[in-house]
A and B are shown apart, each in its own frame.
Chain A
Amino acid sequence: MKLFVNNKEIEVPASAMEKRIVEFLREDLDLTGAKNACDIGACGACTILVNDEPSRICIKLVKDFGGQRILTIEGMAAPDGTLHPLQQAFLDCGAIQCGYCTPGMVLTGHAFLLKNSHPTRDQIRQAIFKNLCRCTGYQQIIDAIEKAAPHYQREERGLQAASAPEKQTATKNSKATTLAKGEAG
Chain B
Amino acid sequence: MSLPETKCWRNDAYAKVTGKAKFTDDLKFANVLHAAPVYSDFVHARIVSIDTSAAEKVSGVVRVLTAKDVQGVNRFGQIIRDYRIFADDKIRYHGDVVAVVVAETREIAIHAAQLVRVNATPLPAVLDPEEALKPDAVLVHENHGSNLINTHVVRRGNVDNAFKQADFVIEQDFSTQFIEHAYMETEAAVCVPRLTDGVIEIYGSMQHPFSTRRFVATCLGVALADVEIIGTPMGGGFGGKDDTAAIICARTALAAKLLGRPVKMVYRRDWSMRESYKRHPYRVQYKMGVTKAGCITAVQCRIVADGGAYCSVTPWVTWRSTVQCCGPYVVENVHCDTFGVYTNNVVTGAMRGFGSPQINFVIEQIVEMAAQKVGISGIEFRRRNMVRQGSITITGQKLDGHKVAMEQVLDTVLREIDYEKKLEKCAHGKGDADELYGIGVAMSYRGVSLGAEGTDFCAAIINAQADGSILLETGMHENGQGVESAMCLICAEELGVDVNRIRYRRSSTSNIPDSGTTVASRGTIMGGGATALTARELKKKIAESFCEKLHCTAGEVRFKDNFICGKLDADRIAFADAMRQMWAMQKFPFALGTFKAPRTTWDEHSGQGDAYFTWVYCCAARQSSSR
Q: Chain A 126-164, CB within 8 Å of chain B: the 1/0 string?
A: 000000111100001001001100000000000000000
Q: B7-15, B80-88, B365-373: which one contacts chain A?
A: B7-15
Q: Assuming the A-B contacts A32-B26, A38-B269, are A132 and B184 also in contact, with contact meaning beta carbons closer than 8 angstroms in the complex?
A: yes
Determine how close the nearest CB of chain B comes to the CB of A107; give it in whole angstroms: 10
A7-15, A49-57, A68-76, A169-177: which lies at the interface: A68-76
**Stretch binding the partner chain, chosen from B16-24, B281-289, B598-606:** B16-24
Which residues of B sit under 8 angstroms from A132, Cβ to Cβ?
A: 182, 184
Confirm or deny: A185 has a beta carbon within 8 angstroms of a beta carbon on chain B.
no
- Alpha-carbon gap, A45 to B269, bound state (A): 13
Bound form: Cα–Cα A149–B222 in Å: 56
Complex Cα–Cα for A93 and B4 (A): 6
The CA of A72 and the CA of B20, in the complex, are separated in Å by 11
B479 at the interface (CB under 8 A from A): yes
Interface size class of B (residues with CB under 8 A): 35 or more
CA of A106 to CA of B19 in the docked complex: distance in angstroms? 10
| A59-67, A83-91, A111-119 - interface stretch | A83-91
Note all chain B residues with C-beta closer than 8 A to A106.
17
Name the A residues within 8 Å of B10 (CB-CB).
91, 94, 96
| Secondary structure type dominating chain B contacts | loop
Chain B neighbourhood of A33, CB < 8 A: 18-20
- Evaluate whether A73 and B8 lie within 8 angstroms (CB atoms) in the complex, with A30-B28, A97-B482, A132-B184 already known: no
**CB of A179 closer than 8 Å to a CB of B:** no
Main SS of chain A's interface residues? loop
A81 cross-chain contacts in B, Cβ below 8 A:
18
We find that the number of chain A residues with CB closer than 8 angstroms to chain B is 45
Q: Indicate if the CB atoms of A43 and B18 lie closer than 8 Å.
A: no
Chain B nearest CB from A137 CB (Å) reads: 12
Is there a chain B Cβ closer than 8 Å to A180's Cβ?
Answer: no
One of A31, A91, A133, A147 near B19 (C-beta < 8 A) = A31
Interface pair B186/A37, CB less than 8 Å apart = yes
| A96 close to B13 (CB less than 8 A) | yes
With A33-B18, A33-B20, A97-B482 in contact, is A39–B182 under 8 Å at CB? no
Query: Quick check: B19 and A98 within 8 Å, CB to CB?
Result: no
A181 on interface, CB distance cutoff 8 Å? no
CB pair A98 B269 closer than 8 Å: no
Chain A residues near B25 (CB, 8 Å)? 32, 35-36
Residue from A37, A93, A133 with most neighbouring chain B CB atoms (10 Å) = A37
- Chain B residue nearest to A40 in the complex (CB): B269
Known: A98-B185, A134-B183, A134-B238. A93 touches B3 (CB 8 A): yes
Chain A residues positioned under 8 Å from B184 (CB to CB): 35, 37, 43, 45, 98, 100-101, 132-135
Query: For residue A30, which residues in chain B have a CB less than 8 angstroms away from its CB?
Result: 28
Q: Which of B116-124, B228-236, B460-468, B559-567 contacts A (4 or more CB under 8 A)?
A: B228-236
Bound Cα distance A36, B409 (Å): 40
- Shortest CB distance B208–A (Å): 16
Whether the Cβ atoms of A83 and B269 lie closer than 8 Å is no
- Contacts A37-B185, A37-B186, A97-B482 given; does A103 touch B7 at CB 8 Å: no
A contact residues around B13 at 8 Å (CB) = 90-91, 96, 99
Residue of A nearest to B482 (CB): A97
- B215-251 near A? 1/0 per residue, CB < 8 Å: 0000000000000000001111010000000000000
CA–CA, A173 and B17, complex, Å: 26
- Asked whether, in the complex, the Cβ of A121 is within 8 Å of the Cβ of B18, the reply is no
Closest to A83 in B: B17
Pairwise interchain contact A39-B479, C-beta atoms closer than 8 A: no
Known: A39-B269, A43-B184, A99-B17. 14 other contacts (CB 8 A): A35-B25, A37-B235, A74-B20, A81-B18, A92-B8, A93-B3, A96-B12, A98-B183, A98-B235, A99-B12, A99-B233, A100-B185, A103-B19, A147-B3
Q: Hey, which bits of chain B sit against chain A, CB under 8 A?
A: 1, 3-4, 7-8, 10, 12-23, 25-26, 28, 181-186, 233-236, 238, 268-269, 479-482
Task: Give residues in A with beta carbon < 8 Å to B.
Answer: 26, 30-40, 43, 45, 72-74, 76-77, 81, 83, 87, 90-94, 96-103, 106, 121, 132-135, 140, 143, 146-147
List 9 interface pairs A-B (beta carbons < 8 Å), by A numbering: A40-B269, A76-B18, A91-B8, A91-B14, A97-B482, A98-B481, A99-B21, A106-B17, A134-B238
